[in-house]
Structure 1
Amino acid sequence: MTVVALMWEARAAWDRGAELLEWARAQVLAREPLRRETFRAGPDRVLVITWWEAADVAAELPELPEPADDVITRPVHRWRFESLG
């Protein structure tokens, strides 16, 4: 087993940063990750990182969905990382 970190980053539409942050915090995943942290950068960016125990970095894992189109300025960016300890 390895630990996989999923990063989810979105940029809010003008003056919707607080709404995007609230939306991201309210999302319930299909199961609980080992750890979950939510970050904000400036008034418009939200980053959520979840850590999972998985067979490998390509494993199927619960991810946050896309917010409504009118809340964001572009599609969500997603990255997967394998923990190297």
Structure 2
Amino acid sequence: MTVALMWEARAADGRGAELLAWVRRQDLAPAPLRRETFRAPQDRVLVITWWDAPYDAALPELPDPPAESVTRAVHRWRFEAVTDH
């Protein structure tokens, strides 16, 4: 089964580049099958990681960034891949 973990944060005013650099330095061990990082307006940063694991597996997740660099708590979601018919 493929599980995708999503991590999304909104940077404090003027700190989008700092948040993006911080998240790109975060290593996960073990490493996921795939990892992609995105940015969006309002200095939002999104990271999606893909894992070959059961839905409820204990998987490494990105930590919370330093509190002064974000405007709100990090949002996290977990999804499982489905087959289209």
Fold in common (TM above 0.5):
yes
Q: Give 2:44's aligned residue.
A: 45
Map of 1:7 onto structure 2: 6
Aligned: 1:63 with 2:61: yes
Is 1:72 equivalent to 2:50 in the alignment?
no
Give the Cα separation in 2 of the matches to 1:8 and 1:84: 20
Aligned residues: 83
| Residue aligned with 2:5, SS | strand
Q: SS of the residue aligned with 1:18?
A: helix
> What is the TM-score normalised by the length of structure 1?
0.94
Matched ranges for 1:19-38 at <5 A: 19-38=18-37
| CA root-mean-square deviation | 0.8
Distance 2:35 2:56 in 1: 19
Moved over 2 A (4+): none
Q: Secondary structure at the match of 2:30?
A: coil
**How far apart are residue 43 of structure 1 and its match?**
4.6
Indicate if the aligned counterparts of 2:10 and 2:42 stay in contact, CA closer than 8 A. Answer: no
Structure 2: gaps spanning 5 or more residues: none
How far apart, in 1, do the equivalents of 2:41 and 2:3 lie? 27
